[in-house]
Structure 1
Amino acid sequence: MTHQTVATRADVGRATVNRHWPSLLDLRLAALETGTPPLPPVPEELRAASDHGPARTSAAPPGTSSSADLGP
């Protein structure tokens, strides 16, 4: 179980999962504490989509400049 696996299955961004459970240990302990059953395998179409990394590479909110836009 990884942050990305949980995010993909929950249909949320990985950052959302990281915000609630900063470490993999935190995430796994929370799953054990709540009695969450193991996740079934991610369907192939979702796995293929997540293999390409996050949809957005900038942490800047939409419509704002990122450091990449500022130049040298």
Structure 2
Amino acid sequence: MPTIIDKPVTVNLSPAGDPAAFILDRFEHTIIGQPQAIFTRTRWWEQGSAPKRIDTELWRVAAVKAGLAAGGVE
């Protein structure tokens, strides 16, 4: 079952610039398969000032905790 992580994490990038691994709750998770970039739109009209960014880039990935053979985190 996928897990949605809705908080910032430390991400290690591949030489091509794609996410390769991330740290979540002190544990490293290795990304398996191809990461997919997705974007969410900021509800800028509800903010009191002009936003610096309208879109936020997020990544959908399959990952395994370091030392585990199978599993997934989205």
TM-score range, shorter chain: under 0.3
| TM-score normalised per structure 2 | 0.21
Structure whose residues are more often helix by fraction: 1
Larger relative contact order (CA 8 Å, sep ≥ 6)? 2
Q: What is the TM-score normalised by the length of structure 1?
A: 0.22
